[in-house]
Amino acid sequence: MFSRRDMVAAKVISCALTCVGLLSAQIPAPQTDRVGFPAGYTTTFKKLLTVDRPDNGQIRVVWGNSIAAAVPWWETNYPYGSVLLFEAWTSKRDAAGNKLLDANGRYIPDVLGTIFVKRKEPGYGGAYATTRNGEWEYVAYRPDGSVQTSPQNSGTCTSCHIQAGPRTDWTFRRQQFGTPGGGTSPNAVMSQYAFIPDNVTVKVGTTVVWRNEDEVEHQIWVPDLYVNSDAMSDGGTYGAKFDKVGEFTVRCLLHSGMVAKVTVVK
């Protein structure tokens, strides 16, 4: 489920749209549900990722059971027993149809539509034949636990996740640090509505560069320097030169919850 930031943005949502049953008749798949709806997952699973999709206002929330959630981002394989779950939400709108935002500039969840679930167990996945994703199997459910995309129609899910490949265990995973597309390497990135790292230490006279690795826009603001960037799309960078020793607060003008610090030393 998690590109350049590990393909989480475009790939996850395209999987979700396909997985509701389109083209499923042509793709081999299991005939029985061995995944199982994880009732009570909001209390027993760990929330791994929340992504706002700006083009259509959808919100995607990824959860993992204790086994999957224990896998650090740099590991490339999930143990048997791992369960990953992806919620697809609509976001709240005002009377004019504009997306409403919370105090941190995030979309506000409205209606939960589909819950996509994948489970890894020994021997799973063989029925998918040429689209097999290792030992994962997939089913999509409604919020009440009833089946929305049956196991027989889940071959479209593997057809999407096969693009992730064995390197990431057929899972679209968000890396903590995005891969720069060229140019100046960043001192920090903006990812999942946070500065990573949130405290950068540099020598006086250094130009600190931030790179946006979120699919939404961010805008750097350094109050003490009286400088701010334009709104930056995914992959955009901004640099600010620090000519004085001290600690400087860095904020995102578009998302008030994003705060970081630059420490400048001699």
Res 184: pLDDT: 56
Provide CATH 2.60.40.420 ranges for the chain: 188-265
Q: Which among 86, 159, 79 has a CA at the least distance from the CA of 118?
A: 86
Q: Which one is the CATH code of 8-168: 1.20.1070, 3.30.870, 3.50.70, 1.10.3470?
A: 3.50.70
The pLDDT tens digits of the residues spanning 89-125 come to 999 999 998 889 888 778 899 999 999 999 999 999 9
Cβ–Cβ < 8 Å for 78, 173: no
The pLDDT tens digits of the residues spanning 19-76 come to 544 444 578 999 999 999 999 999 999 998 888 877 678 888 999 999 999 998 778 8
pLDDT over 50 (residue 132): yes
HSE of 83 in the Cβ direction (CA atoms, 13 Å)? 19
Provide CATH 3.50.70 ranges for the chain: 8-168
Res 55: pLDDT: 64
Q: Which one is the CATH code of 188-265: 2.60.40.420, 3.40.190.10, 3.30.365.10, 3.20.10.10?
A: 2.60.40.420
Q: Which two structure tokens, joined as six digits, stand for 176?
A: 């903590």
Q: Which two structure tokens, joined as six digits, stand for 11?
A: 């790939």
